[in-house]
Structure 1
Amino acid sequence: MAVPIDHPRAAFIFGILGNVISFFAFLSPLKTFKRIWKRKSTEGFQSLPYVVALFSCIVWLYYATLKTNVFLLVTINSFGCAIEIIYILIYMIYADKRARVKVIRTKSVEFMPILLSSILTVSAIMWFCYGIFLKDIWITIPNVVGFTLGLIQMVVYLIYRGRGER
């Protein structure tokens, strides 16, 4: 795919879009965590998506220390670190060690956050475009992976929605 040589304006636009979408992606689990807080139980919700999101933000912040002119990466990933730490703390407070719901095993997507999966997939597309316009393979490639995994999650959701409800 041929990418035009210099498009700082396009990179900036996709960076802003990536920040806005990532902001909403980080806030999309609020309903889940209000439910956990209110019921004082994690029920069947898993912490892995939030731990992975925190790790991802930390890696992006580290990458930003190696680059220049990546203010947009720093701002959104700093916010992401803060919000993911709050989610993980809430989860740890109310975690039920016996509750281990697996989507494939139970064929139920009750505890699979499709809104989060969808927003993260769109976010990966925005950051992919940002990386393309900056001609930065280290931003582009991870977001190809993110987009692909997001699509897989949404396919699993579509396959199992409405099944396995008890």
Structure 2
Amino acid sequence: MDVLHFVFGVFGNVFALFLFLAPTITFKRIVTKKSTEQFSGIPYVMTLLNCLLSAWYGLPFVSPNNILVSTINGTGAVIETVYVLVFIIYSPKREKLKISGLFAFVITVFAIVALVSLFALHGKGRKLLCGLAATIFSIVMYASPLSIMRTVIKTKSVEFMPFFLSLFVFLCGTSWFIFGLLGRDPFIIVPNGFGCGLGATQLVLYFIYRDRGSKKPTPEESIEMGLSKPNQNNKQLNANGV
């Protein structure tokens, strides 16, 4: 059981890393053009919060036997921080202020959860607070593609829902879901069970509508999802962690 637990944790790390690195093409474009164009920075900020909370939850003094949760989400937090900072540098003034404010909010929320859990709570109380916080924002992160799924159904086209990203959402959610089952951890089971189901739904939609799109996706669209507003012909992002 312990070996399987470790194996599925490694799988979860690998698949989550693919998701975290998927936006690099978009950020290369942003740096090259020195503009964020119509891309939205909000998904990156929310993913950063999820990574920070999940990394904290996986630490041994919060929840034992979940160190693999901390390794990938700690890595994800570094990657998402870079994305957010790049977005702040190249975004227009109004968007810069908004994302900077959200970034400060994320750091504040994480600091409050970390400090309260560290100094005011112990044992099960500490695990409960950190687990609930991580679960809520993991579900928020996994739920971010819901709008693009609605667009797929409405337009009968998978133009803005790339197959491989949907596949990795499914594989990542499934790996962590099984990891949570083997470790009997509801704070990992619940959000990743949701992610697994959402990824499966995306794949079903892809196979239903894959031959109905009329426009050939750009290289960025074929890799990434969830970055911007579909009605402005840009991608929509979700990165997933735990």
Q: TM-score if structure 1 supplies the norm length?
A: 0.76
Match of 1:130 among 150, 160, 179: 179
The 5 A counterparts of 1:95-114 are 95-96=91-92, 104=151
Question: Which residue is 1:20 aligned to?
Answer: 14
Task: Specify whether residues 50 and 110 from structure 1 end up closer, same or farther in structure 2 by C-alpha distance, changes over 3 A only.
Answer: farther
Q: Secondary structure at the match of 2:58?
A: helix
Match of 2:86 among 85, 90, 99: 90
The 5 A counterparts of 1:66-85 are 66-85=62-81
Q: Deviations over 1:45-102 (max 9, x none)?
A: 222321222121122123224111222111111100000010111112222458xxx8
The structural deviation recorded for 1:128 is 0.6
Task: Specify whether residues 38 and 114 from structure 1 end up closer, same or farther in structure 2 by C-alpha distance, changes over 3 A only.
Answer: farther
Note if contact 2:9-2:176 (Cα within 8 Å) is conserved in structure 1. Answer: yes
Note if contact 1:26-1:83 (Cα within 8 Å) is conserved in structure 2. Answer: yes
Note if contact 2:57-2:63 (Cα within 8 Å) is conserved in structure 1. Answer: yes
The structural deviation recorded for 1:129 is 1.0
Task: Specify whether residues 58 and 161 from structure 1 end up closer, same or farther in structure 2 by C-alpha distance, changes over 3 A only.
Answer: farther
The structural deviation recorded for 1:151 is 4.5
- Aligned alpha-carbon RMSD (Å): 3.2
The structural deviation recorded for 1:30 is 0.8
Q: Secondary structure at the match of 1:131?
A: helix
Q: Deviations over 1:100-148 (max 9, x none)?
A: xx864xx697776765444233211110111111121111111012223
- The percent identity for this pair of structures is 37
Note if contact 1:29-1:113 (Cα within 8 Å) is conserved in structure 2. Answer: no
Q: Which runs of 5+ in 2 are unaligned?
A: 96-146, 216-230, 234-242
Following the alignment from structure 1 to structure 2, what is the Cα–Cα distance between the partners of residues 83 and 120?
18
Question: Which residue is 1:4 aligned to?
Answer: none
Note if contact 2:55-2:71 (Cα within 8 Å) is conserved in structure 1. Answer: no
Task: Specify whether residues 119 and 44 from structure 1 end up closer, same or farther in structure 2 by C-alpha distance, changes over 3 A only.
Answer: farther
Question: Which residue is 1:31 aligned to?
Answer: 25
Count the aligned residue pairs. 156
Task: Specify whether residues 109 and 38 from structure 1 end up closer, same or farther in structure 2 by C-alpha distance, changes over 3 A only.
Answer: farther
Q: Which stretch of structure 1 is more off in the superposition, 123-132 or 89-98?
A: 89-98
Q: What amino acid is aligned across from residue 17 of structure 1 in structure 2?
A: F
The 5 A counterparts of 1:34-53 are 34-53=28-47
Q: Which stretch of structure 1 is more off in the superposition, 56-65 or 107-116?
A: 107-116
Following the alignment from structure 1 to structure 2, what is the Cα–Cα distance between the partners of residues 119 and 141?
18
Match of 1:145 among 186, 191, 194: 194
Note if contact 1:28-1:115 (Cα within 8 Å) is conserved in structure 2. Answer: no
